[in-house]
Amino acid sequence: MLASGLHLAQALDTASRAASEGYGRILEQVSQELNQGQPLSVCLASHPQAFPGMSSALVEIGERSGQLGFCLEIVADWLEREERIRMQMVSALSYPALAISLCLVLTLALFRFVLPGFFEVLQGFDVPLPWLTRLFIGLTNAVQGLTFWLLGLALFFGLRGLYQRWGKVPRVRESLYSLALRIPQRAH
């Protein structure tokens, strides 16, 4: 829009109407801050959830060098590439997450409904059971108790909290992403 001669504030207003509701509100705020005399780089830096630090730095370079349009193109390409990579990550992880969830549900159903009846028959024989069978009997009894489920929920929410806290740290996030990229993908 800038290349076609549209003023920056007008371009932001047009983009805010075309964008999604949440992103549109952010663009409206940026436009208001711009109309109050703030440089575009400062306006973008005040919204880090929508515009990462690299965006505002590139825009500042464009403002200082007189190449704002070119720098905005670079920012747009970079953000599009980042979104494409994020979508590839979601796609790559969706199938393994579904498979693991299904296995977990089926295993829990096995421990909850199938194995108790089987173990009752085995215990009725009055013979000493191998240690592995006794272990599975203990696991089956644990799955049927409330303590197992409370500990499972505590572990789930604890791991989720750790991810939310440490997932924002760039080095940790990069490590998680590189680990996720090593997961084999399905053949398309």
Exposure of 130 in the CB half-sphere (CA atoms within 13 A)? 3
C-alpha of 61 from chain center:
30
Listed in sequence order, the residues at least 6 apart from 78 whose beta carbon sits closer than 8 Å to its beta carbon are: 54, 55, 58
Please check the confidence at residue 186 and state whether its pLDDT lies above 60: no
What is the tens place of the pLDDT at every residue in 10-30? Answer: 778 788 787 777 778 888 888
Determine the Cα–Cα distance for residues 72 and 54; give it in Å rounded to an integer. 11
What is the tens place of the pLDDT at every residue in 74-109? Answer: 988 988 898 899 899 888 889 989 999 999 899 888
Determine the Cα–Cα distance for residues 118 and 110; give it in Å rounded to an integer. 11
Mean pLDDT, range 103-118, rounded to an integer: 87
Element (H, E) at 10: helix 8-18
Other Cβ atoms less than 10 A from the Cβ of 42: the count is: 16
What is the tens place of the pLDDT at every residue in 124-178? Answer: 888 888 999 888 888 888 888 889 889 989 999 999 888 888 777 778 878 877 8
